[in-house]
Amino acid sequence: MTFMWMVGFAMFPAVVSAADVCKDSKTTPDMNQCLSDQITLAEKELAKYLEESRRRVANDSRTWRNSKKLKRHG
């Protein structure tokens, strides 16, 4: 029973946020489309951060991956 309350409280901010983002959506299909568009935008933004983090790791000689390569080639 406690677990269900925890899940409910954890989901509450997402529900409130979805309602705030898609204020103009009047129907369920409109809400679904709006949220789908928002997810697409969020995924594109996340991909930018992921690409930048990969670039930094690839160029950082202190990372485990690159230090192992350096030992092998050095």
Question: CA–CA distance from 6 to each of 3, 9, 12 (Å)?
Answer: 5, 5, 10
Please state, in angstroms and rounded to a whole number, the distance separating the CA atoms of residues 45 and 32.
20
8 Å CB contact between 21 and 35 = yes
CB 33 within 8 A of CB 22: no
For the record, the structure tokens of 64 come out as 């485990």
Task: Name the token pair of 56.
Answer: 């930094």
pLDDT tens for each residue of the chain, 74 residues long = 565 655 555 555 555 566 678 899 999 999 999 999 999 999 999 999 999 988 888 887 776 665 555 556 54
pTM of the predicted protein model: 0.54
Q: What's the total number of domains in the chain?
A: 1
